[in-house]
Structures are given as C-alpha cells and as structure tokens.
Amino acid sequence: YAALSYCWGSSRAFTTTISSLSKRKAGFALGNLPRTIRHAVEVAQALSIPYLWVDSLCIIQDSPTDWDTEATRMCSVYENALVTFAAVDSPDNRTGMFLTSESRLTKKLDLRMADGTTSSVHARISRDRERLGIIHYNPFIQRASKTNILETRGWTFQELSLSTRILWFSCDELAWSCHEIGVCECKPEPIPRSLCLSANHNVHPNRFLACTDDDSTSWILEWMQIVDKFTLRHLSFQKDRLPALAGLAAAFQTRVNGLYCGGLWGLNLQAQLLWYSDTQPSAIDARPPMEVPVIDYAPSWSWASVSGHIMYYP
C-alpha cells in the first residue's frame, strides 16, 4: 500500500465519521474525493499499488477512541508503506498534486558548435540557484521556509520522517528520495543521500537503529532535536502536540527500552527538563512577562504544556 502526506486546509469535506462509516465501507465514486486524494489514487493505480492510506478516510474523525488508537499506529503506517506520496505545494485537499510552474517548463535551445555544426539542448529555468552546485539542495526541502506548505505542518513531520520512500509532488518537479538516493527532474543523475541536505536534519528511522540503551545520550539528543524542529511547525489544534509525535515516539519505543511520558523519556530526564519556550522573555528581561498559553492536557513539566517553539538550555 501507499500512504499520503498532505495538507487538509480548511476543508473537512468527505471524511470518515461515525455516521458515514458504513457508507465508506460500501464504496464511493472516485469523483467524489477531494482532488489531492483523487490524484493520489490515480498515482497508486498507475503504479499498480492496490491500497492507499489516507488519514481523513482511514481514521474515524469524530471518534476520540479511534483517533487515540490510530495515532499510535502512525509509526507502522508510514514505516511499512511501500511509498509515501507527498503533496508538497498543495495548500489543501482540493488543489491536487499535479501542479506546475514556469520553472517546470522545458524549452528547446538551438546551439551552434565551434566546428560549425548545430545541435540543441532542452533547458529549464532554475528557481533556486543553489541547485547548480555539486551538493544538491533538494527543491522540495530547500524551499521549506518559502513555498513548501507540507514542511510547515505539524502532522506531516512524523509522516515524512517515518517514510522509507517518498515521491515528492511539487509545482517544480517530481522527485524521489529513499535510504539510498535522491532523484529529481532537475538533475541528470541520482544524488547519494549523504549529499541531500534536509531541512529536518535527516530525522529518519534508520538513524534510530544506531541507538541503544548504552548510548542513551545520543538518542535523547536526537529526540530533543525532533522536539525543536517539530514545535516550529503549525498545528490547527494545540491539543495535537503529543498525538502528532506519537508515531515517532512509537518508533523510538521499539528500538530503545525507555519510559515515555508527556513527550519526555525516562533516560537522561534532567537534560530534557531544561526546555524553554522562545516566546517567553528571559529572566533578566525588564519587560512585563508575556503570556504563554498553557495547555491543560499535558503536565506542567512537559514542553507540550505550552504553545510555541521549544528550545533547550545547553
């Protein structure tokens, strides 16, 4: 099966609810699906992949019990998917995955060689000049702070981190990444993964495999980096701060024996308690203290109890 990583947007159309569950099981027309999901179905069919996992359809949206159950299964869903389709530049489920831009257009250029012969090449406009170097700045990642909608959303952090293979659908190009290589339309040859620079610092399950009980410091530091990067992203509902990382927490749990509670791990707990929200003024700041919304579904000692970006004291 394939899995889809995308942005819902404001639309909540065509989801699975308690009342619509029986109808969903009975089947539905492809044309009824939002365009982004419909395009994902078409890609899966083209690749002869019989099943597609989509959160809005595979999770009963108004069932807290089903949500709690499925949130902890995100690890296995994305880790075990044959491939994940990433709708990089789609701001909502209605836009679709098959987008284009001026930089995607290929033009034929006629050339006159030094010996008088003529030839031609096909060229494309490069949106980011950084791509011209030897080290490949993946366009779908390098533009994370610019137009890459997917890399700004909280839920997609673990979806992309847990996926073993990703097909990236951006307005510039179609790209591929896996444990070994990155491939895109703007480069003639595959790029070794070691040269692909990632905005999320290559957070990936294969890095967890190096973590052991005897090496608790390294994987705790890894988790703290995850919290740092994750809390830069946007969540529609702040109550999802812990559920949106439940899949990654499960990935850690299967590889490292450690107590997990409230977004922190039992091993090296003292280091993880040294968190702070960078939306708060420092202790020596003379200005009135800023009000940081306190979240009542996480313990006060947890970073998840406040909103905003979380950082750690060295």
Q: What is the pLDDT of residues 149-176, one digit of tens each?
A: 888 899 999 999 899 999 999 887 888 8
pLDDT band at 295 (very low <50, low <70, confident <90, very high): low
Backbone angles phi, psi at 166, to 5 degrees: -135, 130
Which of 7-21, 41-55, 217-231, 256-270 holds the top average pLDDT? 41-55
> What pLDDT is recorded for position 147?
58
> What pLDDT is recorded for position 148?
75
Distance CA 282, CA 293 (A): 17
Query: What is the 3-class SS of the chain, one letter each residue?
Result: CEEEECCCCCCCCCCCCCCCHHHHHHCCCHHHCCHHHHHHHHHHHHCCCCCEECHHHHCCCCCHHHHHHHHCCHHHHHHHCCEEEEECCCCCCCCCCCCCCHHHCEEEEEEECCCCCEEEEEEECCCCHHHHCCCCCCHHHHCCCCCCCHHHEHHHHHHHHHCCEEEEECCCCEEEEECCEEEECCCCCCEEHHHCCCCCCCCCHHHHCCCCHHHHHHHHHHHHHHHHHHCCCECCCHHHCCHHHHHHHHHHHHHCCCCEECCEECCCHHHHCCEEECCCCCCCCCCCCCCCCECCCCCCCCHHHECCCEEECC
Across 84-93, 131-140, 236-245, least confident range: 131-140
Backbone angles phi, psi at 115, to 5 degrees: -85, 5
> What pLDDT is recorded for position 110?
86
> What pLDDT is recorded for position 109?
82
| pLDDT tens digit sequence for 262-286 | 999 998 899 999 999 887 555 444 4
130 dihedral zone (left: phi>0; alpha: psi -120 to 50; beta): alpha
How many Å is the Cα radius of gyration of the chain? 22
pTM: 0.78
The mean of the pLDDT values for the chain is: 80
Across 101-110, 206-215, 249-258, least confident range: 206-215
In the predicted model, is pLDDT for residue 207 greater than 70? no
Distance CA 257, CA 61 (A): 32
Distance CA 279, CA 290 (A): 8
> What pLDDT is recorded for position 108?
78
Instruction: Provide mean pLDDT across the span 60-69.
Output: 92
Residues 6+ apart with CB under 8 A from 69: none
Instruction: Provide mean pLDDT across the span 297-312.
Output: 90
> What pLDDT is recorded for position 253?
82
Q: Which two tokens stand for residue 275?
A: 């968190």
**Do 186 and 173 contact (CB within 8 A), yes or no?**
yes
pLDDT band at 121 (very low <50, low <70, confident <90, very high): confident
